[in-house]
């Protein structure tokens, strides 16, 4: 009973509900004032106490007041007039940035009507596969993904859905918090003609980005032959152009199939 009571107090004190958005998205922070009537004439203030100035969006009687707005939010905020008609305060925040992550406070009319929304911001991008090197045992493929947040995990898979073991795995983080992740695998000479997939996944935002590469066996065995007979640079050039052709054909087919 006591626990329930404490939970209820937390709830009514305006425990923040959490929203997630990716960098570049538009997000709507929404609170229901439960008045079910037109509140468009009221003063509505969205702010972040960790910022100075702290005003994210201020509106009085349907007019936006820009004077005290934090410059980082200039031109990116809008209150839905339609929602205000039915007692809901919806703040649309455009082109979300990593720095938008934080706890937002919404004041409606007076301090008695205070609501909180916690915004979490993530970032994701597709990985890129490159041919890094070749060795006597096969090709060294690299996979790189940049600009992720929070920290993602990278994995390589074959067509059977088996995890490949990696040779290297490196994660770096920029001062602006974004992570780069890269990894290499060696594709053995006897590797069958199958696509390989590099997958980057981030659990909290449930984001997955994949890139696939098709490596026909004759490229790899051709490389092995040329390694024995010719200069390695020529072999690399041959493999690179073959891989480029294969990747181009696959990309073309994918686009063609979609259209
Ligand atoms: C992440 O990758 C980008 C683009 O390749 C690069 O500009 C940046 O310096 C990298 N950051 C780190 C910490 O490695
Ligand atoms: C994560 O996203 C995939 C689709 O991208 C979806 O099928 C899956 O249910 C999601 N998982 C969770 C835990 O939300």
Domains in the chain and their CATH numbers? 2-122 (2.60.40.10), 128-258 (2.60.40.10)
Q: Which of 128, 146, 148, 200 to mutate to test the pocket of ligand 1 (most atoms within 8 A of CB)?
A: 146
Q: Alpha-carbon distance 159 to 157, whole Å?
A: 7
Instruction: Determine what percent of the chain is predicted with pLDDT higher than 90.
Output: 58
Dump pLDDT digits (tens) for 93-144.
999 999 999 999 999 876 568 899 999 999 999 999 999 988 887 889 999 9
Q: Which of 21, 200, 41 is nearest to 100 (CA)?
A: 21
Distance 32 CA to ligand 2 centre (A): 27
Q: Ligand 1: does its nearest atom lie under 6 Å from the Cβ of 180?
A: yes
pLDDT of amino acid 222 = 57
- Please name the residue whose Cα sits nearest to atom 6 of ligand 1: 146
Tell me the average pLDDT across 234-257. Answer: 55
Q: Give residue for tokens 């082109």.
A: 95
Give the range among 52-66, 125-139, 212-226 with minimum mean pLDDT. 212-226
| pLDDT (0 to 100) of residue 138 | 83
State in Å: Cα 204 to ligand 1 middle: 22
**Ligand 1 centroid to 192 CA: how many Å?**
34
Contacts of 248 (CB under 8 A, 6+ apart): none
Shortest-distance ligand to the CA of residue 176: 1
The CA–CA distances, whole Å, from 17 to 28, 56, 99, 169 equal: 13, 18, 19, 36
Mutate to test the pocket of ligand 1, among 172, 183, 200 (most ligand atoms within 8 A of CB): 172
pLDDT (0 to 100) of residue 5: 42
Q: Does residue 6 surpass a pLDDT of 50? A: no
């Amino acid at each position: 009973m006591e626990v329930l009571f404490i939970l209820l107090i937390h709830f009514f004190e305006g425990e923040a509900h959490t929203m997630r958005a990716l960098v570049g998205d538009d997000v709507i922070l929404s609170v229901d004032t439960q008045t079910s009537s037109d509140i468009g004439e009221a003063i509505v203030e969205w702010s972040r106490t960790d910022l100075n100035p702290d005003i994210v969006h201020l509106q009085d009687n349907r007019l936006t007041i820009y004077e005290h707005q934090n410059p980082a939010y200039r031109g990116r905020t809008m209150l839905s007039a339609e929602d205000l008609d039915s007692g809901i305060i919806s703040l649309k925040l455009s082109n979300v940035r990593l720095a938008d992550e934080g706890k937002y406070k919404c004041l409606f009319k007076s301090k008695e009507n205070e609501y909180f929304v916690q915004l979490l911001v993530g970032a994701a991008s597709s990985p890129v596969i490159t041919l890094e090197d070749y060795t006597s045992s096969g090709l060294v493929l690299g996979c790189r993904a940049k600009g992720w947040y929070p920290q993602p995990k990278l994995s390589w898979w074959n067509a059977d859905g088996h995890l490949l073991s990696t040779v290297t795995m490196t994660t770096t983080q920029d001062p602006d918090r974004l992570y780069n992740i890269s990894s290499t695998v060696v594709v053995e000479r006897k590797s069958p003609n199958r696509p390989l997939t590099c997958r980057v996944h981030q659990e909290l935002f449930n984001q997955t980005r994949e890139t696939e590469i098709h490596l026909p066996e004759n490229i790899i065995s051709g490389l092995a032959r040329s390694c024995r007979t010719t200069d390695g640079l020529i072999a690399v050039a041959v493999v690179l152009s073959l891989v480029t052709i294969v990747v181009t054909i696959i990309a073309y087919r994918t686009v063609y199939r979609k259209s």
